[in-house]
Amino acid sequence: MPGPLDGITVVDLTRALAGPHATMMMADLGARVIKVESPDGGDDTRGWGPPFVGDADERQSTYFLSCNRNKESITVDLKSDDGAETLRRLIRNADVLVENFRPGALDRLGFRPEAVEELNPRTVILSISGFGHDGPEGGRAGYDQIAQGESGLMSLTGSGPDDPQRVGVPIGDLLAGMYGAYGVLAALLEREHTGRGQVVRTSLLASLVGVHAFQGTRWTVAGETGAAQGNHHPSIAPYGLFRCADGAVQIAVGSEGLWSRFAAFAGLDPEDQAFASNAARVGNHARLVAAIEAHFAAHKAEDLLTAMKAAGIPAGKVRTIDEVYAWDQTRSQGLAVGVEHPTLGPIELPGPPLRFFDHAGVETTKRDHEAPPLLGQHRASVMQWLGQTVTV
């Protein structure tokens, strides 16, 4: 199936991760995404590694491969007259323009929103920045590591309050891309009524504050400042990672009914006043963890997981990345896809997280995916489409 965004054309001026992740999401949904790269090396992530794969003279960054599937690549010097003309033609033929330059950079190239509107009033512009496009720090460069700290996320992540940790993937970049794609889809839907595009803006800061969830209202409403406390939930207990005889298991007891079931399983008295309610269990967390781990100490992880599954208690293991991609459940959800790369041959990539079905239950998800492009791989075909002569 072509995908729900079939017929939508996206001009992708982005590099690194937030913007490319947003445009890859649109490409996964069937949009035509034309990635515009600098002739001088292209997207920065083409050089981010190791690991690199392939022959030395054609080596590919696995970082770049992670966020650029289903795209076409052309090389354009946007500071040149020819490059500016190419971008003007792209905008006239596109539905969406995506950029993640520092605020003001695209304006200086002559492509302010008003200029884009003049070229094509139906264009939806997605603009992703580090800390927002205005405000006292709107011009700051945006890097995920910095944004994770500035947004408060690192203060909530780690073994304790004195051990702030970044999330193991660039979560600010990824979330900004996701929010950006979500905003574009909303703007395209509104365009069906108004006939006009608009500017959608988000930032790494906005995306990370946007997922504060209960930690946000914990402060804004209750006046409590959350802090990192390792692998246990601050408001639900027992909910976290618990040691056992040969490792650890995770459990999630999210209701009083589950607590009664789990308490019987773990040899605990569900009527013990120290554990009789979720609030009491959170207040006596250290004692609760000690009691659970004392019971688990005599049991192996697989045995515990099997027994808890039989008892209807939500539980799981901590898998390594290689285990995740070998897991039949991951495979069953289409979360690994095979593509044919121009120089690497057959490779496997993480797959799109969305699936689509008709009302009869027949899957209509886009199945055929294209490998991330070589630098400038589609220059000739895109220029021909634009009616331009290809220059060396």
Catalytic site positions: 173
Judge residue 290's burial from the number of C-beta atoms within 10 Å of its C-beta, 0-12 exposed, 13-18 middle, 19 or more buried.
exposed
d(CA 250, CA 132): 37
Instruction: Tally the C-alpha atoms within 13 A of residue 185's C-alpha that lie toward its C-beta.
Output: 17
Going by C-beta distance under 8 Å and a sequence separation of 6 or more, which residues neighbour residue 101? 13
Q: What 3-state DSSP class applies to 376?
A: coil
d(CA 302, CA 283): 30
Number of H helices, E strands in the chain: 16, 13
The three-point CA angle 156-157-162 to 5° equals: 85
Instruction: Confirm if 24 and 69 have CB atoms less than 8 A apart.
Output: yes
